[in-house]
Structure 1
């Protein structure tokens, strides 16, 4: 068996050729999302923090998966003949050193657990290390027969005796071994089973037959649970949300009702951020210190600067930046808009493809008309501008500093600095006409 040093390289082979058949999906299983990101993206993040090299095995026609993993190399498994066959497709990428085989449908394994696995494999005399768990419901998982971490064999549930089925240590499928040993064992795996497939778990038996020490590394079920169905996807989502919430609170974020807040894997929350109940974060959100996100708000692809207050019932869409100390209130939608400091957009408004200067106030019911059916156009609003309620700002438009827009205006041309802009029709009052019109309607209703 090959010797090793602590500085030897380590390669992770990620198996991602699975189809979404059991999920009733046309998308690859690896692309199903958890916490706003594809399952495979979670595993890539953990593995890249531990291993020197990554290679991903995919199936034919999986261009979407190949695009996700770039620039890591991909190997195509043209025939799906089992997990050992899939791992063997990446043999040319093993190099020297250690090799671990991971699964895209085990997406929540932490970098800490992968580090522990690699360290266990590198202990003197250990030829193969594997991940194992003790799930609440062992169900039909393969059982790991071990004593004080020393594995004697893995037995599949269908082949296990009643005593073996009572063992609660279960196989998670992840293996780590010296590259040369792994190559030899993979080539020796046979497919004389009911499905005619080459199973990676058979490597354990081959190693034990050679009297190689096999060690089990235990990790929490929430890290090692497999995701093969929509129900299991939901369980994985719940597990990662719990992890993300606990991490946020440990780092100084207040979650008033943690179980109602849904975070994305890349959500970045600074200390002293306050998140009220029923808030959803999509990908790409950064919230700075002291900001408050009020109830029933949805944020995606945006940055919220210090001391700002968002919501309740606000939607901040991608490409938006909310300046320090700004207010975005109830039923306000912001899209691809940069707001300066101290801006107020408190009620029932829409700002799209806009830039808003410092201390500007946007009145209730104001909208920017940024789309002409073919092109998006920008609205530039200067500093200290007051936009009256129920105004329609038709882009492209430039409103100068300190301008005042009268309520109910439709603004179609640029407004100079310090100007008052009024864009509404003259009011006409016709005496008695209102009463006569309502009387006519009532009579029409009574006469059927």
Structure 2
């Protein structure tokens, strides 16, 4: 059977004024991806598919995000906001090219799935002119209702226009719709604006199809999947639903989440086998965690890779560009940035490793920092294999520490250290007998300090 072609039009022109933000609504994030990116990721892709995003005037950032998320996306501008059908026809040029299935979605429904898009298309292959997506609402107040006769959709009634009996219907309009692409322009072109707002409503397409004697059907999904985002509160609710999904998927894939509700994941996190994540961990975008790795409590990781059997935390922070090799370890209160720790390297506590390469099986002592910034630019520290850096050492970049080199505790290293060399930089300790007593006398003017009684 020949695969059906499709065009997905995503409506993303809204200003989102209720978000109380200068950022366009569809660019707000859920699980570290924009609302728009989630919808575009779910939309059909591959051979025979095309994608159009309708944006508002002066929303270049939305166009850029569309192309970043889906390089195949075309963008069209809805210069005036005259209703949903008017927005769809902003992409008339794309529709006119001809496809089997026209899918209409919204850029603020980040929980929609690829499976639901596929289910919406199925009735069109069987001859239906329209398939509308509906859901059973716990509280249908405010939603448009699906009016059905048998298994046919005969109308979509807005609550303001609904009768008392119709308001009791809990089957509500999710907004997403699939239209037979060969009849789409004919249907959309007949939608009028004879209403109180003089707008062109996509929901009127169902009545037009009925008048023509064509078939409209309903596809049902869960209320959670079609949550629209209009406020910051709704954004937080969607985040909660998405995190629950991501945690469930991770555990089904074999990840151990000790306290799932305390772990926050990103939509693009890649897990290996037998990964363990302890409570209160935040995993940002761009993270891959290989087999057997352990992320201990209170760690925060962004745009980094974690190798097999590596260990992070507790209380560690991995900033962008960080990489841990197999069996590498960073411990409590260690921060990395643009740093690579090769296989078996470790920094167990209280260290900053930035713009650096730490060779295999090297040891970074507590209190060590790579001094990578001189006030004007960043510089690199390279530490060879099997090196030992003692506690409270400062490595002033650019600097190279050779293979097997040893840095004495408390050193400030400003020059390269050769392989197997020992570097020690600290002032000679001096002891001045009675110096403390003389200092106290100087500071107190000779007064004897009264010793406080022990409690």
Distance 1:106 1:419 in 2: 60
Distance 1:21 1:341 in 2: 50
Distance 1:104 1:391 in 2: 51
Match of 1:87 in 2: 88
1:109 maps to which of 95, 99, 112: 112
Query: Structure 1, unaligned stretches of length 5 or more?
Result: none
TM-score, length basis structure 1: 0.95
In the TM superposition, what are the counterparts of 1:144-223 in structure 2 within 5 Å? 144-147=146-149, 149-223=151-225
**2:68 counterpart of 1:65:** no
Match of 1:55 in 2: 52
TM-score, length basis structure 2: 0.94
Distance 1:435 1:393 in 2: 37
Q: CA deviation at 1:146?
A: 2.1
8 Å CA contact 1:20–1:26 kept in 2: the answer is: no
1:9 maps to which of 5, 8, 17: 5
Q: CA deviation at 1:439?
A: 5.5
Match of 2:35 in 1: 39
Distance 2:106 2:124 in 1: 18
Residues 387-440 of structure 1, C-alpha deviation per residue, up to 9 Å, x if partnerless?
000000000011000000000100000000111111212211111212333465
Q: CA deviation at 1:187?
A: 1.5
Match of 1:355 in 2: 357
Q: CA deviation at 1:247?
A: 0.4
Distance 2:372 2:277 in 1: 31
Classify the secondary structure of the residue corresponding to 1:184: helix
Distance 1:100 1:381, change over 3 A: same
8 Å CA contact 2:44–2:117 kept in 1: the answer is: no
Q: CA deviation at 1:296?
A: 0.7
Classify the secondary structure of the residue corresponding to 1:201: helix
8 Å CA contact 2:317–2:334 kept in 1: the answer is: yes
In the TM superposition, what are the counterparts of 1:221-300 in structure 2 within 5 Å? 221-300=223-302
Query: Structure 2, unaligned stretches of length 5 or more?
Result: 451-455
Distance 1:299 1:260, change over 3 A: same
8 Å CA contact 2:39–2:112 kept in 1: the answer is: yes
Distance 1:345 1:255 in 2: 25
Q: CA deviation at 1:106?
A: 1.3
In the TM superposition, what are the counterparts of 1:356-375 in structure 2 within 5 Å? 356-375=358-377
Classify the secondary structure of the residue corresponding to 2:120: helix
Q: CA deviation at 1:135?
A: 2.5
Which sits farther off after the overlay, 304-313 or 435-444? 435-444
Q: CA deviation at 1:201?
A: 1.2
Distance 1:192 1:152 in 2: 19
Classify the secondary structure of the residue corresponding to 1:424: coil
Q: CA deviation at 1:264?
A: 0.6
Which sits farther off after the overlay, 206-215 or 147-156? 147-156
Q: CA deviation at 1:120?
A: 2.3
Distance 1:357 1:148 in 2: 70
Q: CA deviation at 1:121?
A: 2.1
Q: CA deviation at 1:161?
A: 1.7
Distance 1:414 1:43 in 2: 52
Residues 8-51 of structure 1, C-alpha deviation per residue, up to 9 Å, x if partnerless?
31110011111131101111111011100110001111104477
Distance 1:169 1:273 in 2: 42
Which sits farther off after the overlay, 423-432 or 146-155? 146-155
Distance 2:248 2:139 in 1: 24
Match of 1:120 in 2: 123
Match of 2:453 in 1: none
**2:71 counterpart of 1:75:** no
Which sits farther off after the overlay, 21-30 or 188-197? 188-197
Match of 1:418 in 2: 420
Distance 2:448 2:22 in 1: 55
Classify the secondary structure of the residue corresponding to 1:140: coil
Give the number of aligned pairs: 442
Distance 1:390 1:155, change over 3 A: same
Coordinate RMSD, CA, aligned: 1.7
Distance 1:48 1:427, change over 3 A: farther
Distance 1:360 1:217 in 2: 59
8 Å CA contact 2:294–2:312 kept in 1: the answer is: yes
